[in-house]
Structures are given as structure tokens and as C-alpha cells.
Amino acid sequence: MSHIIKKTYPVTGMHCAVCARNVEKALSRQEGVLEANVNLAANTVAVSYEDTQTPQSLRDAVRSIGFDLIIDAENPEKELEEMENERYRKMKNKTIGAWSFALPVAVLGMFFMHLQGVSYILLLLSLPVFYFGNHFYVSAWKQLKQKSSNMDTLVALSTSIAFLFSLFNTFFPEFWTERGLEPHVYYEASTMIIAFVLTGKLMEERAKGKTSSAIRKLMGLQPQTAHVLRNGKEEETAIALLRQGDLISVHPGERIPVDGYVTDGNSFIDESMISGEPIPVEKKKGDKVLAGTINQTGAFVLCAEKVGSATVLAQIIRMVQEAQGSKAPVQRMVDKVTGIFVPTVITLSILTFMIWMLIGGGGYFSHALLSAVSVLVIACPCALGLATPTALMVGIGKGADAHILIKDAVALEEMRRVDTIVFDKTGTLTEGRPQVTGWLWNRPGDTDYKNVLYAAELKSEHPLATAITQALEKEGIAEAHIDSFENIVGEGIKVSKAHEIFWAGSRRMLKRYNIQLSESMADMVKAYEHEAKSLVYFGKGEELLAVVAISDSIKEASYEAVKILHARNKYLCMLTGDGHLAAQSIAGQLNLDLFKAEALPQDKEDFIVSLQREGRIVAMVGDGINDSQALARADVSIAMGKGTDIAMDVAMITLINSDLLLLPKAFKLSKMTVRLIRENLFWAFVYNIIGIPVAAGVLFPAFGILLNPMFASAAMAFSSVSVVLNSLRLNWKRL
């Protein structure tokens, strides 16, 4: 049985949306490839394929249409950056070279066209410009061999037509003079088109580089080397060579290279890149540390637990990259348009030529030719192709800077439609650092079972389990040996010791074992619930041993976040496994609109579904395994960064430092990004809707205006650059 591999590869040589579309088509046609999504702004492609396929065969498919994949580099992102820098340098030299000859051609062609022999001078000056723009023709030829086309096809066609017509008129002017017509040459049009297009691509590449600044900033947090302890000596080793279990010495001021735990020494660590908190956190033996965080003044040794792509920082980088490469629904519509764009433009160009000739005959040949060439030049699909991905890249990058990790472009587009937000309670609305505030034992002798409870709760991932183990550790309780452990989702845990069954969990565990509370116990439980305390029931078989009261205070940020979201007309709900009275108390303090208590994972999912049936667009915010079903069901799923890995895997968005005040910012970011996408698409479409008819000559009958191809090329270059620059405006706006 084959396995599915999903990888993101850098792509070189793409210029426009049609290039991206052709790369996707070339990969999708390969056997075993399930999906291929190109991010033009980032120059990457995310490919899902069966393991029967090989990266080399994917590369061969892309190479066959004139592009390339980077598949075997140790650091593909760095290699792509180096290649893009080299490409930018070459393009800069080509642009300077093209303008050096195109400007004299334009001056001679427009002001000294009647000089004797000027056509031959223009021809000689034009040839170097075609050399500097040779990649347009190479690319167009490769596309033609694949029965495809892209922006290079339009540039190659338009400049070739203008040049070949001029070449004919240079050597055979009598063909026109014998017919009473002027043998015009248009070397300045073809050379200026190449110069303007090169300039536009140069500016576009420079601006596009800025859209991926968030990724480069995150990558900059990764140190390149580490001090590994081997045989009692420090060896400086490349990060790529580190393995799980390596002992690494961290010096003052250094970035921590891997995720691990302190084995010797202590220090204060700046974890602001993960938590957003500026105050350094003290770390001592046994404490966890994360890659990319900064050691302050102390020195310590850590044992590597997660290295390379498994570290938290590497996963954040990967998620941001995948999100920036994912496609918003609106982009799929744009892809369909760009897929037929170039053939449509070529058809329009031919029609333009034919209409001019039908209207004016041979006397309008020059007008017909110029208008056809202008249509080819002005109708560049770059602006359309860049409109959505550049906005998404900047928006997702801005989110990453603000500790909002967006994993899917769909979420960014959907968030603006959300009218209902459902919160999990523990760790989301509350601190998630609960403390035991009371023990209610059934009989004095039952306290002997504390060691069993301690051993059981050590294996649990529920936030309340930590509170119980910490309380028992303070009492010096030792861990009992247990024979088995079982997690009963939404209810609690069950263990066995010496053939006896012990359990701990919510009130549902009482129903499971048919246990009735005594009158005195019931009164105490009710009093605890009125105080909004969470309760954990502990028992042996069909006998209740104890009730543990745990208090988890509401986050200060929760009050402010709820207030802001209410002001934005959001309907706010809460789900919790706690009893009704405790849930009612929390919901009342926060002024929530609706809550559901004693909710199992299935109940949480059903609650989301019931809201959706009412026509609501629902966002779910949670942090635990028991929230994963509801997160998966919601229209937009949001996880707290300090929650479980499962919740973060399911969620579309992660609030890295678990600060709920980031939630209103995430909604604002969604609104701003979608507005930006719409602005970009509006101007890209309007540009073509207005530009193509003007280039075709619709203004000529009424105003005598005919668009020169060189001005069409300038307008085309400006359209692409303006879309990228408009997207970059988002970087300067406050969330």
C-alpha cells in the first residue's frame, strides 16, 4: 500500500500566473501526483504524491516546460534565496543593458526617423536589446513545444512581429513606396517593450522579496551550529547533524539550537519569540527549552529531544510556508481565468488586426499592426496572478509576527464571515493552571490511595491532572506501580493495580459505576460548584473515595477579549466538561451568550453542528484532545498554542502564546487581508478591461488616440508592481 507524501519544493524561472498554472498542470499530469499548488509570490510548489513517485521525476516534468525544482539541497530555502539573488543580479544587468540601447533607439526612431540610413542604425542598436531579452524567446519556445503559453509568449510574439515587420521594411522599402505607402519601422516599439518588461520584472522581484520577510525572519531565529558534548569535550557541529539524545552546551547570549530539557546548570531564557512575553523565564534542571529562544546570562547543558524539522520553531516555519502556499477560494477562480488568458489575448490581437484592416484597408496597416502588438503587450496576466498570493503572503506573515499562526488561507478568508465564537473553558478562557483548593474524602482511611491517584494522573494529559499531581508532589506522595492505564475520552481515566480498578474523572464516571453521592457529600459538591470550582471524582470500583476541588481563575485577557468581540457583534458561547453550576458561574462572570456544561467530545461537535444549522458561521477556540472533534467540525478552528499537539494539528489557526486578545486581532487581520485581495483583483481586472480596448484602438475614431506599444509595455509593468506594492501596505497597518 502506497503512502502519501506532501512536500514543498522551491521552483525557479516562474514569471507570471500562467507560468504557475503550467507548473501545476505539468506536475498534476504525472502518475501518482494527487495535487500540486504553486505559490507564485513565494516561488514554491506544494505537491502531494504517492511514494511510488520520485522527486527526480517531478523535477523532470517541470524541467520539460522550462522551469526547475530544487529537490536535493540540504537547505532548499537558502539555495532558492541564493538563486533568486543571482537571478535578480543578472536581471538587473540585463535591464541596464537593454535601456542602454533602447533609449538611443527610441530617440532616433521618434525624432530622426527621416535621416538617410537611420533604419540600419536602428537595426544594429536593437540587436543587443534582443540579446538581453533572449530568455523571453527561449521560454516561449519551450512553452510552444508543450502546446502551452505564458506571459513570455505575449512578449515574444509582440516584439517579434514589430521587429520582423521593421526588418522587412528596412531591406525592402520599395514594396510599400511602390504602393504609395510609407515604409515605417518600429524598432523603438520592440526594444522599449523588452526594456519596460525587464524593468517591471526587476521591480516586481524586489517587491516580492519583501512579502516573504516573515519567513526569513523566522528562519533567522534558527542557529546554524551547536556545541555538542562528546567524550567530555565541546565540538562545534552543524545543526543538520544533531541527533535526539545529544548533550548540547549552551553559552550565554546564544540561541538554543533544538528542543530539549536542561540536564545541568540554570539560566534565564528569553522566550518572547514563542510566548510574546518580554520577561525572561528561569530554567533549571529538568525544565524544557525550545529552539530559537535566547539564553541570557547563565550557561547550561541540555539533552536534545526534538531536532531539525521536529522542533516547535521548524514546525511554525513549515506551517507558515504551507499557509502562504495554500489557495484561498477566490484564487481558484483566478486560476481558471489565467488558464485561458493567453490564448484569449492572442485571439483578441488577431481580431484587432483584422478589424483595422477591414475598416481602413492597406492604408491602415500600420495602425492595425501597432494596435495588435499593443493588445499583446498590455494584457499581461501577472497582475491577476499576483493579486491573491501576495496579499496572503503579507497577511499570513504579519500574523506570524503577531504570534498568530495561520495554517490555511481558507481560514483567513472565512474568518471575516464568522458571527459565532465557541470557546472551550479550561486553558482557553481560564488560566489553564488550575490548583487544588479542597479534598473531600469519603473516609479517613481512603487517603492511603493517594499514591494510586498520583500514578494515574501522571499519565493523563488533562489540564486538571497537573493540578492534582503538583498538589500530591508537595505532600511528598510517591508514585504507586499500576498495571494498566486507559483514557476514557470526555469522562476520565481508569487504571488497574493488583487486579483492582481505580478511576478518576468527571461526574460521568459516577454514572458509569452507578454511584450515588451521600447527602453530606452532595451538599459539599454543590457548594464547590457554586464557587465555580472544577471537580474530579476519584474511586475504586463502585465506591467513591474522594472529590477533589480545583480552582482555575479566569484570564484577565478573557474579560477584555470578550468585551471587544461583543462590541463587534459576535455571539459568544462556552463548552465545558464541568458541572452546570460551575459553568454557569464562569459564563456569568464573562457575560457569555450561551454555554453547555458536562460536554463530551461528541456533545461539543453536536453543539457546533446545531449552531451551523441555525445558519451561523462558527469559529471554535480550544486547546485539548477533547476539543479536536469540535475544532474539525467548525467553519474556522482556532487552537491555543500552549494546548495539545492534536488540537494544533486540527486547527486552521493557532494563537501561539495562548493570549485571547490575539483573537480580535486575527479577525481584524482576516478583514484587512480579504479587503486587500479584493482591491488587488479589482484593479487587475479593471486594468485589463480598460487597457485591452484602449490598446485595440477604440479611442482612435473619436479622439485620434492610438496607444504606442512602448507605453503599453510601461503600463503592463506598472500594473504588476502596483499590485505587489499595494499588498505590502498591510505591513504598515496596526492590528
Q: Which residues make beta-bridge pairs with 362?
A: none
- Catalytic residue flag (residue 424): yes
- CA-to-CA distance for 723 and 687, rounded, in angstroms? 11
Distances (CA, A) of 107 to 130, 366, 370, 705: 18, 20, 18, 21
- CA-to-CA distance for 571 and 588, rounded, in angstroms? 15
- Cell 487581520 belongs to 669
State the amino acid at position 144 in one-letter form.
L
- CA-to-CA distance for 675 and 671, rounded, in angstroms? 6
Look at strands 543-551 and 435-441 and give their pairing: antiparallel
- CA-to-CA distance for 590 and 585, rounded, in angstroms? 9
Which residues make Cβ contacts (< 8 Å) with residue 469, sequence separation at least 6? Answer: 454, 457, 458
Which residues make Cβ contacts (< 8 Å) with residue 436, sequence separation at least 6? Answer: 467, 468, 470, 471, 548, 549, 550
Nearest partner of 504 among 555, 538, 477, judged by Cα: 538
- CA-to-CA distance for 656 and 319, rounded, in angstroms? 12
Nearest partner of 634 among 622, 650, 620, 647, judged by Cα: 620
| Cβ neighbours around 317 below 10 Å, total | 21
DSSP state of 168: H
Q: Are 300 and 265 in contact (CB under 8 A)?
A: yes
Give me the catalytic one of 246, 259, 270, 424. Answer: 424
- Cell 487544588 belongs to 436
Q: Which strand (E) or helix (H) includes residue 310?
A: none
3-class DSSP string for 203-226? HHHHHHHHHCHHHHHHHCCCCCEE
Nearest partner of 8 among 34, 37, 31, judged by Cα: 37
Q: Are 434 and 415 in contact (CB under 8 A)?
A: no
SS3 for 407? coil
| Max intra-chain CA distance, the chain | 120
Q: Are 66 and 16 in contact (CB under 8 A)?
A: no
Nearest partner of 561 among 488, 468, 647, 663, judged by Cα: 663
Q: Are 301 and 249 in contact (CB under 8 A)?
A: yes
- CA-to-CA distance for 257 and 240, rounded, in angstroms? 10
Q: In what side-by-side order are the strands of the sheet with 636-640?
A: 404-406, 653-655, 636-640, 618-622, 420-424, 571-575, 594-596
Residues forming the active site = 424
